[in-house]
Amino acid sequence: MTKNASTLAAAVLACAIGAQAKTQPAVPQGPGQSMLVLDASGSMWGQIGGTPKIEIAREAVGNMLQSWPASQQLGLMAYGHRSKGNCADIELLKAPGSLDKARFQQVVNALQPKGMTPISASVRMAAEQLKFSERKATVILVSDGEETCHADPCALGKELEKLGVDFTAHVVGFDIDKNPQAKAQLQCLASSTGGRYLDAKDAGELNKALREVAQAPAPAPVPPAPPPDCGKFVEGPEFAMNMGTWATGGHASRSATPKTFDPMEMGADSDARSCQKLCNDDKACTAWAFEAIGSNFRTLPMCFRWDGVAALSAPSEAHPGNAVGVKKGVRQIVKEGGAACE
């Protein structure tokens, strides 16, 4: 067993144990079910100590399975393993049920990283498979990157926590320390559901984190959040280089249904101005985001567009060459401290 596989296995197993321990002042729901969601995006071919991260993850899952509690039903879901540039590439590989360790491992070993990182859609799908609104449900997410499909994992966590009977998302950030935006997303997803966030960077840091988690008292119940300051939106920049944004899933207006624009893969020589022109040429489009080659392992640039109904996150620092823009006078950027209309 490699050192990195051992640390990742320990992190995932710690999450599993945490899932057993979490309680809420509600009618007991039994052990419930768990879903392991694995990142199989293109970045999982990156290496740690000369070993591809996907190989480390495969071995780590094998180690986790050996100690998985017999009473806890486990399912498997993966994303990014079938096609490039496809935010819908999410697959339920094993429905939650009794654990066949050999078969489970066989499915994990067959994963071939290729595509995007649709964290929010994957966790939502996993929660729905677990019937999170009817019974105790635990999602364990292992990811090495940030959301790349213009959604907000933090907002999703709050939504699932609110709607679930006893929903928890435990998150392992795998080799993610150099990406603060990704780390913040994953930490918020875990904390907003009462789950644990663990770094899996190297053995020393992970062992320290696990000791702290083991010694910490059970978390106090999270007080209900105050009503969201809904409807407070501001204008965004008409053109901002090296910045990114994503749709929060909410609406900046209650008066209309959003128009959906499919992400557009562009020619290799396309730049941010080309994406801006696509938006300017369509009256329904009010905002756009351009992702350059190399951003999220893209081999071709990508242009994302939205209409004025879609609520967007505040632009933040992104991959060099990326850019965002909002047409003048349009208020669809969620104001800091506020929340999108539902």
* Torsion angles phi and psi, residue 299, rounded to 5: -100, -10
How big, in percent rounded to 5, are the helix, strand and coil portions of the chain?
A: 30, 25, 45
Distance from C-alpha of 122 to C-alpha of 188, rounded to nearest angstrom: 16
Q: 255: burial class by Cβ within 10 Å (0-12, 13-18, 19+)?
A: exposed
Distance from C-alpha of 117 to C-alpha of 94, rounded to nearest angstrom: 20
**Mean pLDDT over each residue of the chain, to the nearest integer:** 80
Q: Which range has the top average pLDDT, 20-29, 193-202, 213-222?
A: 193-202
SS3 string, 251-301, reads: ECCCCCCCCCCCCEECCCCCCHHHHHHHHHCCCCCCEEEEECCCHHHCCCC
Q: Which of 11-25, 81-95, 221-235, 269-283 has the lowest mean pLDDT?
A: 11-25
Copy the structure tokens of residue 228: 């969201």
Q: Residue 302: which of 312, 310, 294 has the closest Cα?
A: 294
Q: So what's the pLDDT on residue 85?
A: 86
pLDDT digits over 29-68, tens only? 456 788 999 999 999 998 888 888 888 888 888 877 777 7
- On the question of pLDDT at 27 being above 50, the answer is no
Residue pair 334/313 in contact (Cβ under 8 Å)? The answer is: yes
- On the question of pLDDT at 169 being above 70, the answer is yes
- On the question of pLDDT at 21 being above 50, the answer is no
Distance from C-alpha of 319 to C-alpha of 295, rounded to nearest angstrom: 6
Q: So what's the pLDDT on residue 82?
A: 93
- On the question of pLDDT at 18 being above 60, the answer is no
At residue 15 the predicted structure's pLDDT band, cuts being 50, 70 and 90, is low
The arithmetic mean of pLDDT across residues 127-142, rounded, is 90
Query: Dihedral angle at the C-alpha atoms of 181, 184, 189, 190, nearest 10 degrees?
Result: 140
Q: Which domains does the chain have, with CATH numbers?
A: 3-215 (3.40.50.410), 233-334 (3.50.4)
The arithmetic mean of pLDDT across residues 270-290, rounded, is 95
Q: Which of 29-33, 84-88, 155-159 has the lowest mean pLDDT?
A: 29-33
Residue pair 307/333 in contact (Cβ under 8 Å)? The answer is: no
Copy the structure tokens of residue 249: 């899933």
Q: So what's the pLDDT on residue 7?
A: 58
Residue pair 213/195 in contact (Cβ under 8 Å)? The answer is: no
First to last CA, the chain: 47
pTM, whole model, 2 decimals? 0.60
Copy the structure tokens of residue 41: 């995006």
Distance from C-alpha of 142 to C-alpha of 5, rounded to nearest angstrom: 13
Q: So what's the pLDDT on residue 232?
A: 76
Higher-pLDDT residue of 239, 221 = 239
- On the question of pLDDT at 143 being above 80, the answer is yes
Residue pair 122/79 in contact (Cβ under 8 Å)? The answer is: yes
At residue 24 the predicted structure's pLDDT band, cuts being 50, 70 and 90, is very low
Residue pair 74/41 in contact (Cβ under 8 Å)? The answer is: no
Distance from C-alpha of 296 to C-alpha of 306, rounded to nearest angstrom: 20
Distance from C-alpha of 64 to C-alpha of 214, rounded to nearest angstrom: 18
Q: So what's the pLDDT on residue 70?
A: 77
What is the three-class DSSP state of 158? helix
The arithmetic mean of pLDDT across residues 159-182, rounded, is 86
